[in-house]
Amino acid sequence: MKDPAASKPSRSRTRADRSRANSTGSNGHGHGEKQLSQRAEAISLWVSKSDSGERRRGKPRAAVALANRRTAELRTANAALRARLRAHQQASQAREALIESERNLNDSFDHAPLALFWVGPNGRIERANSAALELLGRTAKQSRGQPMARFFATPEAGQDALARLARKETLRNFRAALRGKDRRIRHVLIDANGLWEGGDLKCSRWFVRDITQRVQLEREILAISEREQQRLGQDLHDDLCQRLSAIEFLSQTLAGHLGPISRQDAARAREIAAMTRQAMNQTRALARGLSPVRLEAGGLVVALRELAARTRRVFRVRCQFHSEPVRVRRTEMAVHLYRITQEAVSNAIKHGRARRIDISLNRRGGDIQLVVRDNGLGLPAKLRPSKGMGLRVMRHRAGVIGGILAVQRLPQGGTGVVCTVKRELVLQEGRHGHEA
């Protein structure tokens, strides 16, 4: 039988092993699991040896049971520590992936080709990417915290967009004009929606496309079309109408000469003169339709009054025109307003089957407002794409001159078309009284 003192070096070595394990375990998580495992195995080996020694010495079994329980506790703690280390590693990996994802998102936001804005619930810019700053002609410091509506050529349009977003509406192809630091107008299309949490608007996200070049091209195309129509109208008025007038005069002269000779031939000559007069009137009406503004000394007001009279005469409907003394000096604006009215009247008769149409041209606080109302069937709940061409053309014409077009069903029935051109976009030079 061994000397009981022989077990002491074993216990001393075990304590030394535990001391070394504790000192090396603090070097990092990478070696922690291995060291703890080695520590647990060393303790288990020591307990086994102690158990054998205790039995040989006849020690009480209670000490052995206590050592076994402590060994089990250490093994449980070791397993729990391993689980915590794995969870820590997974959390660290997830955190790194999140940081990388945020870095990629920020890079995509800053270098996106579209102008991107984050606008707070108070309507002020919280963030803008490089394309947005270039659009505004400002730096991030100059734009951050500024009201978004401030950069609109017509602040009312910006306030309208913010109000619609606050009502949980989504803006799609919202046409507007922004004014840069150099005071130049940039035409844009805006898509925007709100980010809501618990019924509160956290921010709105704006995706803005610069369509200035497209608008300029559209204006040039429309200007070419209008010039060709005006040229044709001018030719009809100055050339064909003059020739028809000469034929009418010759026919009346011939009727006078034929009167004493043949009453029948004289009647036919007068009939030719009457038919020529009708053809001349129709040609003049056609010329006014092709070139409605320039052929009239009174400009847009006279052209719209003539449109109402022609509508009454041709379609047999009640069409009235009311106007304040408004004169639109810009030919482009006058032509587009006339074409919008012409399309609205045509839609009211063709699709709405209206029997009464009211046209008005007035000023509202410096703005020009054109209104066309009818008592027809009104707009359908949902328009088919093929049936909405006229509305799209009207909206396009309003956008070209910087106006805002609203088309809605009237409470009493029928349709209302309102085109408003803000005073900021009305030509100022040579302005006198009510001229625009």
Where exactly are the structural domains of the chain? 4-109, 115-210, 213-291, 311-436
Helix, strand and coil content of the chain, in percent to the nearest 5, comes to 60, 20, 20
Helices and strands in the chain, H and E counts: 12, 10
Alpha-carbon gap, residue 395 to 195, rounded angstroms: 29
What's at 78, amino acid-wise?
A: N
Q: Tell me the per-residue pLDDT of 130-147, one tens digit each, with 9 for 90 and over.
A: 999 999 999 999 999 999
> Which of the following CATH numbers is that of domain 311-436: 3.60.15.10, 3.30.565.10, 3.40.50.300, 1.10.3720.10?
3.30.565.10
User: In degrees to the nearest 10, what's the CA dihedral of 108, 110, 111, 114?
Assistant: 100
Confidence of residue 229 (pLDDT cuts 50, 70, 90): confident
Q: Which of 290, 311, 184, 302 is nearest to 238 (CA)?
A: 290
User: In degrees to the nearest 10, what's the CA dihedral of 157, 150, 131, 113?
Assistant: -20
- Give pTM, 2 decimals: 0.57
Dihedrals phi, psi of 192, to nearest 5 degrees: -150, 150
Which own/partner contact pairs does 192-195 have at CB distance under 8 Å and 24+ positions apart?
A: 192/161, 192/165, 193/165, 194/165, 194/166, 194/168
115-210 and 311-436 share one fold = no
Q: Which helix (H) or strand (E) holds 404?
A: strand 403-409
User: In degrees to the nearest 10, what's the CA dihedral of 192, 194, 195, 199?
Assistant: -170
Question: Which pLDDT does position 4 carry in this prediction?
Answer: 42
| Cβ within 8 Å of residue 362, ≥6 positions away | 322, 323, 324, 326, 368, 369, 371
Name the fold adopted by 115-210: Beta-Lactamase (3.30.450)
Question: Which pLDDT does position 314 carry in this prediction?
Answer: 81
Q: Tell me the per-residue pLDDT of 213-228, one tens digit each, with 9 for 90 and over.
A: 988 888 888 888 878 8
Q: Are strands 185-197 and 200-210 parallel, antiparallel or unpaired?
A: antiparallel
**Tokens describing residue 385:** 């794409």
Of all residues in the chain, the percent with pLDDT exceeding 70 is 79
Report the range of poorest mean pLDDT among 265-269, 368-372, 398-402. 398-402
Question: Which pLDDT does position 32 carry in this prediction?
Answer: 53
Residue 321 carries which DSSP code?
E
Which own/partner contact pairs does 128-137 have at CB distance under 8 Å and 24+ positions apart?
A: 132/208, 135/178, 135/180, 135/186, 135/188, 135/208, 135/210, 136/178, 136/180, 136/181, 137/180, 137/181, 137/182
Confidence of residue 25 (pLDDT cuts 50, 70, 90): very low
Question: Which pLDDT does position 295 carry in this prediction?
Answer: 45
Distance of CA 91 to the CA centre of its chain: 40
Q: Which helix (H) or strand (E) holds 354?
A: none
Alpha-carbon gap, residue 331 to 347, rounded angstroms: 24
What's at 231, amino acid-wise?
A: R
End-to-end Cα distance, the chain: 122
Q: Estimate the crossing angle of helix 331-350 against helix 389-400, to 10 degrees.
A: 160
Report the range of poorest mean pLDDT among 95-99, 164-168, 276-280, 426-430. 426-430
